[in-house]
Amino acid sequence: MHNANLFDLSGKIALVTGGSRGLGREIALGFARAGADIAITSRKLDACRKVATEIESLGRQAMAWPCHVGHWDEIEPLVDAVYARFGRIDILVNNAGMSPLVRSLAEADEALFDKIVGVNFKGPFRLSALVGERMAGGDGGSIINISSTGAIRPEPHFAIYAGAKAALNALTTALSFAYGPKVRVNTISPGQFLTDIAKSWPIERRVRTAGAIPRCGLPSEIVSTALYLASPASSYTTGAIVRVDGGLP
């Protein structure tokens, strides 16, 4: 295959969770620019429709579907709806996540624990299982999990989130064996990115990081890695965790 075609997603169908803002939105738009048609899902339908309109303005097809990925009863209808509209899913991006902080571990109640684990791990597990089975039984595909450097550098105030993302990292390895060789499963481990959530960070955290590239990432800087893992360029890459964190120590 010629190098110019390695990142071409023409004719591909991608489902992006948490696709209405932040890194998910950037990935969805990046995939659309590379030729893919996109299914966008998040909890807020209006926000999904807004991104779907942006994708359609690029000349691609798009659908918007509301889904709370922490609720298993909402996941199967989502998958069925995408298959009904497009006939298949070639790329699944498990991007939806949440990372509320706790003042102390003892103050974290069970409902909060279950909610964080549900969105960051339980939902991606179920969605990957449903889509991965169909991919493996068809023409294959790529599953991309969006984790966090917090999974390998956990701190007490986001311990639950870190644990859920560490579980997602482990799931990547398991899924790569469960559905390989036709389905490749990889993780992107982002560092500090200037998404919507960064607006609540202290100014010093937004200006400088401890990385070899001592700044926060721009949302657009996640796209090339996602394209690599979604496309034929990564045909021999699976079970990998790819850090995109500016070289955090």
pLDDT by residue, tens only, the chain of 249 residues? 456 688 999 999 999 999 999 999 999 999 999 999 999 999 999 999 999 999 999 999 999 999 999 999 999 999 999 999 999 999 999 999 998 888 889 989 999 999 999 999 999 999 999 999 999 999 999 999 999 999 999 998 899 999 999 999 999 999 999 999 999 999 999 999 988 776 666 777 777 888 999 999 999 999 999 999 999 999 999 999 999 999 998
The partner residues of 215 in beta bridges, in order of sequence, read none
Query: What does each C-alpha distance from 70 to 43, 75, 112, 146, 225 come to in angstroms?
Result: 10, 9, 12, 15, 26
Determine the pLDDT at residue 195. 82
From 111, 112, 52, select the one nearest 85 (Cα to Cα): 52
Q: How many CB atoms lie within 10 A of CB 87?
A: 9
**Are 211 and 246 contacting, i.e. CB atoms less than 8 angstroms apart?**
yes
Residue 168: per-residue pLDDT: 98
**Candidates 161, 179, 228, 236; catalytic one:** 161
> How far is CA 76 from each of CA 41, 152, 170, 186, 228, rounded to the nearest angstrom?
13, 31, 23, 22, 28
The whole-number pLDDT of residue 1 equals 47
What is the fold, at CATH topology level, of the domain defined by 3-244? Answer: Rossmann fold (3.40.50)
- The alpha carbons of the chain give a radius of gyration, in whole angstroms, of 17
Looking at residue 114, its pLDDT comes to: 96
DSSP-derived 3-state class of residue 216: coil
pLDDT for the residue numbered 199: 67
Q: Compute the distance between CA of residue 19 and CA of residue 17 in angstroms, rounded to an integer.
A: 5
Output the pLDDT for position 230.
98
Residue 62 neighbours by CB distance under 10 Å: 23
pLDDT at 102: 84
Nearest residue to 238 (alpha-carbon basis) of 181, 162, 167 = 181
pTM of the shown model:
0.95
Q: What is the pLDDT of residue 6?
A: 86
pLDDT at 99: 87
Q: Where are the domains of the chain?
A: 3-244
The reply to whether 161 belongs to the active site is yes
